[in-house]
Amino acid sequence: MVNTLPKIGFCGLGAMGGGMARNLAKVGFPVAGYDLYTPLVDKLVAVGGTAAASPAAAAANCDFMILMVVNDVQADSVLFTPETGAIAAMPKGSTVILCSTTPPSYLKKLRAHIDETRPDLKLLDCPVSGGSIRAAAGTLSIFSSGPEEDLDNAKVVLEAMAEPLYRIPGGISMGSVAKMLHQHQAATNIIMASEAMGLAAVAGLNTKDAYDAICKSIGRSWMFENRGPHMLANDYLTVHSAVSIILKDNTIVTTHAKSIGFPLVLENTAEQLYITGTHNGLTKEDDAGLVRLYMPTSSPDLVGNLTTSSVKEGKAGITIDTVIDLMAGVHLASTRECMAFAKFVDVDLSLLFDIVTKGAGASNMFDIAAPQIIKAGSFSLKTVKETPEVLANLKVAVQKATEIGQSVPMAAAALQQIYFDLRE
């Protein structure tokens, strides 16, 4: 039987790209894979792919050239290096699908760069979210953008990798903009998970109980649910997602916002904490390990060690509810910031709502507040019914943390930002 599926070239076979490429091979696509590290290529060959000795070789007969490299610098290298680069080798009219997370501004530069020599080639902007397990299962969130006709053309390939597959209106770069907005929630929620568990631990609470209760509360986030178990296990060398990755993606958000003059107080506060983590030598460890920034340096494993504590009310009257209040307050301020940013960069708010709530940036507070913001068409928290109560609780939670000298920078920044937002 003749294989009628389009032919795929694939560059970048790491934790994400390797799973994506193997999934495509397993479901029947002819996949020619390239990676600098050849054992990764062997893993693709083991499930039916073929080995390519260079990006040019991977590209030579492809209909779609998929890139899942680390960043824009690697993408340029894979595409444009003389002799070995993919672009010069690609068949007439074939398509580059960039799945790497890159700055939105890069996409337009890339289109222009390709146009210099190969205006016949198509380019799609298709960053992803979801982690290595969903990559291997073909169920990534993919934020696709580009000319409608070219997206239609690539549908069979994108659908084989994605669930859900989003189509972001506005042409090339808007997929990257949508990914950036989702990243805003992911980035603020990741560090907030550490700030919350850090407060619970330093107050002396049973951290396992706190984890369980928070997961069922208004303070819950997808990231907290996901990172919490690593913290309880003091398990930071098993790396699901390194500090370097969230810092890299976060920098794309803050850099883009600065370039268009938009303030992102919470996102920048988060970024300083990621940089503090790298400055303290945690770059290559799992980002759940950032909880150690919130621990006494003398007992970095405190979160995991307190799972048997019987304390129900910790220092300064801090309870699990205090921790929940801290999280709900930060997530509320962060939701507002994300929605206002989305409006500023022209992404449809209802589409963004769908992306975040189904993605790793989800939080219960986002579920509650975002629809009210969308409905009101205003980015003041005055429009969110729960604001007065969440604010009052956040204020008390920050004061209790302050009483015990526990640093809660995200919560403090959120409190200030809410006051700024609500001033008459």
Among 251, 305, 372, 383, binds a second copy (CB under 8 A): 251
Among 3, 298, 308, 310, binds a second copy (CB under 8 A): 298
Among 81, 234, 276, 357, binds a second copy (CB under 8 A): 276
- DSSP letters for 361-372: T-BHHHHHHHHH
Per the CB < 8 A criterion, the answer to whether 121 and 115 are in contact is no
Q: How far is the CB of 146 from a second copy (least distance, A)?
A: 30
Q: How far is the CB of 398 from a second copy (least distance, A)?
A: 8
Rounded to a whole number, what is the largest CA-CA distance in the chain? 73
CA 386 to chain CA mean position, Å: 27
Name the residue with tokens 């150690």. 292
Using CB under 8 A as the binding rule, whether residue 269 contacts a second copy is answered as: yes
Among 275, 316, 345, 351, binds a second copy (CB under 8 A): 275
Among 272, 357, 372, 378, binds a second copy (CB under 8 A): 272
Q: Select from 229-237, 294-302, 326-334, 368-376 the region that touches a second copy (CB under 8 A).
A: 294-302
Q: Select from 88-96, 162-170, 367-375, 394-402 the region that touches a second copy (CB under 8 A).
A: 394-402
Cα 252 to Cα 100: distance, rounded to the nearest angstrom: 12
Among 112, 261, 308, 310, binds a second copy (CB under 8 A): 261
Using CB under 8 A as the binding rule, whether residue 413 contacts a second copy is answered as: yes
Q: How far is the CB of 402 from a second copy (least distance, A)?
A: 6
Using CB under 8 A as the binding rule, whether residue 399 contacts a second copy is answered as: yes
Query: How distant, in Å, are the alpha carbons of 234, 239, 287, 294 from that of 283?
Result: 16, 11, 8, 16
Give whichever of 202 and 352 is closer to a second copy, judged by the CB atom: 202
Would you state the structure tokens that stand for residue 73, as one six-digit string? 């610098």
Among 88, 311, 345, 412, binds a second copy (CB under 8 A): 412
Provide the 10 A C-beta neighbour count for residue 357. Answer: 16
Helix 387-403 with 409-422: angle, nearest 10 deg: 140
Total residues interacting with a second copy, rule: CB under 8 A: 41
The radius of gyration computed from the CA coordinates of the chain, to the nearest angstrom, equals 23
Could you confirm whether 43 is annotated as catalytic?
no
Q: Report the SS3 class of residue 301.
A: coil
Q: How far is the CB of 196 from a second copy (least distance, A)?
A: 15
Per the CB < 8 A criterion, the answer to whether 390 and 356 are in contact is no
Which of 337, 324, 405 has its CA nearest to residue 370?
Answer: 337
Which of 93, 325, 339 has its CA nearest to residue 214?
Answer: 325
Among 91, 263, 300, 371, binds a second copy (CB under 8 A): 263
Would you state the structure tokens that stand for residue 295, as one six-digit string? 């621990």
Q: Report the SS3 class of residue 57.
A: helix
Per the CB < 8 A criterion, the answer to whether 141 and 358 are in contact is yes
Using CB under 8 A as the binding rule, whether residue 305 contacts a second copy is answered as: no
Active-site position among 122, 179, 208, 400: 179
Q: How far is the CB of 257 from a second copy (least distance, A)?
A: 8
Q: How far is the CB of 374 from a second copy (least distance, A)?
A: 21
Cα 216 to Cα 386: distance, rounded to the nearest angstrom: 18
Q: Which residues bind a second copy (CB under 8 A)?
A: 251, 257-258, 261-265, 268-269, 271-273, 275-276, 278-279, 293, 295-298, 395, 398-399, 402, 405-409, 412-413, 415-417, 419-420, 422-424
Which active-site residues does the annotation give? 179
